[in-house]
Amino acid sequence: MANWQATLLNSVLTTGSVLVFARDRTDDAEIPRVLSGDTFYGSVPDGNPFGGAVVGAKGGHAIVEVDQKRHPLHKAQPHETQGDVSIDGPREAWVVD
């Protein structure tokens, strides 16, 4: 299990929203991956906090729970982030289905 810092590029978690997970620390040999049981916290662009848990993750799909509501996600492709965020490095970008 890992704890991620999350950035939501929209004001609300809705279909098409990009959710970016970043790890504060990783060792050099680790490739950070969002896994079932991970937790995340962050804030939306207006500064309000949010957080949740990864209920399931397999392949390029995941389900997160935020405020007792589940949201299916798929791993972001470069065109889905519109250049707002790099999808490489110690972070992962996901899109709400």
Domain spans of the chain, in order of start: 3-96
Is the distance from CB of 93 to CB of 16 less than 8 angstroms? no
Q: At residue 21, what are phi and psi to the nearest 5 degrees?
A: -100, 130
Quick: pLDDT tens for 53-64: 999 999 899 999
Question: Given this model, what pLDDT does residue 73 score?
Answer: 97
Helix and strand totals (H; E) in the chain: 0, 7
Strand partners, 5: 22, 41
What count of Cα atoms within 13 Å lies in the side-chain half-sphere of residue 46?
Answer: 4
Strand partners, 59: none
Q: Report the predicted TM-score, pTM, of the whole model to 2 decimal places.
A: 0.83
Question: Given this model, what pLDDT does residue 52 score?
Answer: 95
For the chain, list residues with pLDDT below 70.
Answer: 24-28, 82-89
